[in-house]
Amino acid sequence: MDKMMKRTFSTLFALILIAASVSNVEAQQSDYDTIQDFRAEYQQLLESVERAASTDELNEIAASIDALESDYRGYADLINAAIYPDTYSSRIATLRSWHADAVEHYRSIEELNERVDELRSEVESFQADLAEMDARAVELRREIEESQANERRLSGLVREYRENLEARDEFVTDFLEDLLKRYEVLDAATADELAEAAERLEDNPVDLVKTILGEYINFTNEATGLNAYDYLRMSTQHAYFNDVWQRIGERLTQVFDADPVQSHQEVTDLLANWNAAIDNRIWGALDSAFAQNDISLDNFTDAGTFFNSLTSYIRAQTETAIDRNSEEDLEQYRNFSRFWNQTVKGEWGEYLMNGNILTYEQMSQIDSQLEEWNEAAVPVSNLMLILFLISVAVIIGLVVALVRKK
């Protein structure tokens, strides 16, 4: 600030000197002094342009350039002769060019400052909103724990808790989308300028990303009353977060952190911790969801074993249906098919795919296996056999009747 004021004062002083000497031009009687004055004022203006610390100062300098041009226009021939091969016009043009460059430079700095101010305001606002949501989520979790006896109240609290988490996810997604839009395509020069300006930010976007990830880990570890659907949604959110980080993480840390390598690693570690926290909950929740629908899967602890459990369950049920071919098998098939189509594919499908738990191909493969199970489970009908036997009996009867008639 002192430096800026000092610059401002020195520029003003230079401009006053120029104004004073320009006013003496008319009274000047020595051509030599006129040339010297022009040279000095030109040099002072160049230095003023270089020292200018704001567009306001540059506006004052522009007026001084106009004054210089106007005051010495009558001496153009004299100046041209004295400063050959340079000319009066080329000197004025040089001043204007330097001035235009400086104006452009300060305009971009001021725009950058506005962007940083805007970013600071957004970060602060985001932090405040997030803190409010976090506080409400903690409160809801506490209330859920305290209301275990009252099922109706508990159900309402869990629903509100779930809605709070969903709103938080949407809020974070918007933030990440915004980051993507701003920093995915960022040219090197802007990144450098932004990095310089970003030093003034107390909390930069990378810090915010770390805070958000820390909160996600806490929420996942301490979550209460959530089911498979909630954890699948978390898994999707994690996959999206991870994708965004892969795309802009390096650029963000380079712009906003003094030690980008370490900062990048910290975020990567937090993402891994969050994934581990989700892993701790999601497989148990999925197993419970299947079990609640009378589907007993083999143990699974990751996406691969989950898919294997599903396929081996269907394969086993299909073999049983082939061997036994009973109504019970058909009912078992219908139960699984309903849960698979309505809940797993209908409600969880998007999250299963976005959360990298089941791929589209894996789900199609399970659909194909289900068709085989369906064929095996439908009991085989005896009607054709009965009709065949009746036909044979009729034919035999007719043959016997004909023989007797003869």
The binding site for another protein (CB under 8 A) comprises 29-33, 35, 78, 81-82
Element spanning 333, H or E: helix 327-338
Closest approach of another protein to the CB of residue 21, in Å: 15
- In the complex with another protein, the residue whose CB is nearer, 35 or 92, is 35
- In the complex with another protein, the residue whose CB is nearer, 31 or 367, is 31
Closest approach of another protein to the CB of residue 39, in Å: 11
Closest approach of another protein to the CB of residue 92, in Å: 19
- What's the alpha-carbon Rg for the chain, to the nearest Å? 40
Q: How far apart are CA 370 and CA 62, in angstroms?
A: 80
Contact assessment for residue 216 and residue 134, using Cβ atoms and an 8 Å cutoff = no
Q: How far apart are CA 51 and CA 45, in angstroms?
A: 10
- In the complex with another protein, the residue whose CB is nearer, 30 or 381, is 30
The residue type found at 241 is: F
Closest approach of another protein to the CB of residue 28, in Å: 9
- In the complex with another protein, the residue whose CB is nearer, 72 or 126, is 72
- In the complex with another protein, the residue whose CB is nearer, 38 or 274, is 38
Residue 197 contacts by C-beta under 8 Å, 6 or more apart in sequence? 112, 113, 115, 116
- In the complex with another protein, the residue whose CB is nearer, 31 or 250, is 31
Q: At how many degrees (to 10) do helices 303-324 and 327-338 cross? A: 150
Q: How far apart are CA 383 and CA 376, in angstroms?
A: 18
Closest approach of another protein to the CB of residue 77, in Å: 8
Residue 395 contacts by C-beta under 8 Å, 6 or more apart in sequence? none
Closest approach of another protein to the CB of residue 16, in Å: 23
Query: Residue 15, SS3?
Result: helix
The residue with tokens 């040339």 is 35
